[in-house]
């Protein structure tokens, strides 16, 4: 009797797995699995950051658009009232109520990023009703303003869209983002410039 020495010394021959099946049968090591999970977590973190920044930018654009419409409503109000802007104190109603008929959107006074002021006050915005004769626009005729770049309406609080930034509508009909310092400085400046 002859005895074979080697890997298959006894027993029937096993069928061999096809080449591709053998390649996929090899498992992942713990290191490979952890590296894969880390890469997926990193990509997810990057994507969440991009999505969050995109959402904030979209809210800011929407807010600027609403302020532009509010600025247009002020101009239309003045056009219908002999060129005078509303005077809430004299009219005994809020400036928002004075403009409501000029705005078709029921959410015109709500900034999409405002979760603190609008629920309490009913408006995310304020306007240039300063109570000081030199700086206020309340009850003032449009032709009385001779300085360019006068802020008309603005977000009630800065920082909803970006740190130290706020959106504002200007008397010239434009609306844009500016620093909170520039907005507050403009509100303290007279609406009539030196001639």
Residue with tokens 């060129």: 83
Q: Cα separations (Å) of 37 from 17, 34, 48, 49, 50?
A: 30, 5, 16, 18, 20
Of residues 157 and 19, more confidence is placed in 157
Residues in a beta bridge with 167: 177
For 167, the enclosing helix (H) or strand (E) is strand 165-170
pLDDT at position 55 is: 77
- Going from N- to C-terminal start, the domains of the chain cover 37-187
> pLDDT-based confidence at 183, cuts 50/70/90?
very high
Percent of the chain whose predicted confidence (pLDDT) is above 70: 85
pLDDT tens, residue by residue, 87-133: 999 999 999 999 999 998 878 999 999 999 999 999 999 999 999 99
Q: How far apart are CA 7 and CA 46, in angstroms?
A: 52
Q: Is 77 exposed, middle or buried (0-12, 13-18, 19+ CB in 10 A)?
A: middle
Cα 137 from Cα 189, distance rounded (Å): 12
Number of H helices, E strands in the chain: 6, 4
pLDDT, mean of residues 63-89: 95
Query: How far is it, in rounded angstroms, from Cα 147 to Cα 63?
Result: 25
Report pLDDT for 153. Answer: 96
Q: How far apart are the first and last CA of the chain?
A: 124
């Amino acid at each position: 009797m002859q005895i074979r020495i080697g890997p298959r010394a006894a027993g029937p021959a096993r069928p061999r797995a096809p080449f591709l099946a053998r390649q996929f049968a090899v498992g992942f090591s713990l290191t490979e699995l952890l590296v894969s999970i880390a890469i997926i977590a990193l990509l997810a973190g990057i994507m969440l950051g991009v999505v969050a920044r995109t959402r904030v930018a979209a809210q800011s654009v929407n807010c600027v658009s609403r302020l532009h419409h509010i600025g247009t409503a002020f101009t239309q109000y003045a056009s219908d009232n002999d060129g005078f802007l509303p005077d809430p104190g004299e009219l005994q109603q809020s400036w928002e109520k004075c403009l409501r008929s000029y705005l078709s959107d029921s959410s015109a006074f709500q900034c999409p990023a405002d979760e603190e002021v609008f629920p309490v006050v009913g408006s995310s915005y304020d306007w240039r009703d300063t109570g000081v004769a030199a700086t206020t626009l309340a009850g003032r005729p449009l032709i009385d303003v001779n300085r360019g770049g006068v802020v008309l309406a603005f977000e009630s609080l800065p920082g909803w869209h970006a740190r130290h930034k706020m959106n504002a509508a200007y008397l010239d009909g434009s609306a844009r983002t500016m620093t909170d310092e520039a907005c507050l400085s403009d509100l303290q400046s007279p609406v009539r410039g030196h001639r």
